[in-house]
Structure 1
Amino acid sequence: MTHPSIRVGRVVCAAASLAALVYIPASSGDVPGFTIANFFSYFTVLSNVLAVVVLGVGGALDPQSPRWDAFRGSVVTYMVITGIVYAVLLAEVDVNVRDPWTNNVLHRIVPLAILLDWLIAPARTAISNRTALSWLWFPVAYGVYSLIRGPIVEWYPYPFLDPRTQGYVALGIGLIVLIGGFVLIAMAIANLGELAGRRRSARAR
């Protein structure tokens, strides 16, 4: 079983993420162009919703099944993608988040916390690279959704997904680079978790 202090930490982080997710739409009624549909069209928001589930359930119930381990690994991957993409591409961009504390929670604190949780209390079953690559269906589906919805509502969640400012050729090249980076992140998460699991098993002997 996972140490109680780690489980408490999971619940605290889940509560912080949930508080930020609730606070942003509750306080954005006067923001021009803000809609709930657009809010839930941010990858950051969707990945944090999944993080609330993983951290909350992990803290309250601490599941141990291989299926849960794989799901947990996928969400860790999405949150690490969130943190890295924000730091590299979006730190100086307006992503419709006005309050510094919500911005820090969703883009920095929770991504780092869920990664540390994965390393401190890793999956109990090995995760193959094939499984890790299967996690990427979600960011790929998200990209397709954003590109289809964008011209319909004349709004894109992120500048790097907006063909109006860069053209489709530059967009396509950028997305290929991003997908390549996501592949590396997913495989790194799976392998780091396995390495951490081996070290934990070695210490337990």
Structure 2
Amino acid sequence: MTVLVIAASLITQLVLVFQGTNVLVEDGEEAPSTAMRVANFFSFFTVQSNILLGVGAAILAARPAADGRAFRVLRIAGLIGIAVTGVVYVTLLRDVVDLEGAAALTNVGFHYLAPLLGVIGWLLFGPWRRLDVRIVVLSLIWPVAWLVYTLIRGEATDFYPYPFIDVTEHGYGRVLLNAAGITVVFLTVGWLFLLGDRRLGNRAGSHPADDLPRAR
């Protein structure tokens, strides 16, 4: 279900992007080129977190016993990313956009259904006992890289996917302060997943020695 929701949302929104529908530009501004719209679309943390979650879920659907360090990092990066996406959207961004029709449906898929399905699916089915501090830290390299990429690209294109990291509007000082606040959210969510991974694994009768040595 998670893979289907994400795939449907991505495909539908990509069609809208190619059509130039619901482009997030200020009133009176000229819509960017198709290539720029596509690049902007894939620059959203929301889109990237949905893709990572979808890829991890698809791998598990095809191979339930999938494991290894790279897979563990991919899986938890998608879960942490999608959880933060849901939290940040509901608390900071829900009232920023006004979407209709298919775009409103994809918005629900990206920001509500995918986070709920991803987290609930992990709580119910795992796999658990796959995390340690190193895996979680490695998974957080991607959000940091995304922020650096976004700020560098923003300087070149004047496009910032979210208002709280818009340097043009707020300046670097405020943006870095906002980023620090979001970092706290990431660390908190990562810690919760790590804690949940251990407790759920213990309840299921799994032990660290069963899984961790295989993470190569």
In which range does the TM-score fall when normalised by the shorter chain? 0.7 to 0.9
Q: Specify which of 122, 125, 146 is matched with residue 126 of structure 2.
A: 122
- 1:20 equivalenced with 2:9 (yes/no): yes
Residue 201 of structure 1 aligns to a residue whose secondary structure is: coil
Q: How does 1:157-196 map to 2 (within 5 A)?
A: 157-196=161-200
Instruction: Could you tell me which runs of 5 or more consecutive residues in structure 2 were left unpaired when the two chains were aligned.
Output: 22-30, 207-216
Q: How big is the shift at 1:41?
A: 0.5
Indicate conservation of the 8 Å contact 1:16/1:105, yes or no. Answer: yes
Provide the TM-score with structure 1 as the length reference: 0.85
CA deviation digits over 1:117-164, x for unaligned, max 9? Answer: 111122343422232122111111000000000021111100011011
Instruction: Could you tell me which runs of 5 or more consecutive residues in structure 1 were left unpaired when the two chains were aligned.
Output: 1-11
**Counterpart-to-counterpart distance in 2, 1:194 and 1:55:** 20
Indicate conservation of the 8 Å contact 2:158/2:168, yes or no. Answer: no
- 1:197 equivalenced with 2:201 (yes/no): yes
What code does the residue aligned with 2:6 have? S
Q: How big is the shift at 1:84?
A: 0.9
Comparing 52-61 with 100-109, which one deviates more in the overlay? 52-61
Q: Specify which of 74, 79, 82 is matched with residue 77 of structure 2.
A: 74
Aligned-pair identity in percent equals: 28
What code does the residue aligned with 1:20 have? S
**Counterpart-to-counterpart distance in 2, 1:128 and 1:82:** 22
- 1:154 equivalenced with 2:158 (yes/no): yes
**Counterpart-to-counterpart distance in 2, 1:30 and 1:134:** 36
Q: Specify which of 41, 55, 61 is matched with residue 57 of structure 2.
A: 55
- 1:83 equivalenced with 2:68 (yes/no): no
**Counterpart-to-counterpart distance in 2, 1:70 and 1:135:** 5
Judged with a 3 Å threshold, the aligned counterparts in structure 2 of structure 1 residues 126 and 57 are, in CA distance, closer, same or farther, namely: closer
What code does the residue aligned with 1:168 have? Y
**Counterpart-to-counterpart distance in 2, 1:57 and 1:97:** 33
CA deviation digits over 1:52-89, x for unaligned, max 9? Answer: 21111211221342433343122111111111111111
Indicate conservation of the 8 Å contact 2:52/2:77, yes or no. Answer: no
Aligned to 1:5: none
Cα RMSD after superposing both structures: 2.0
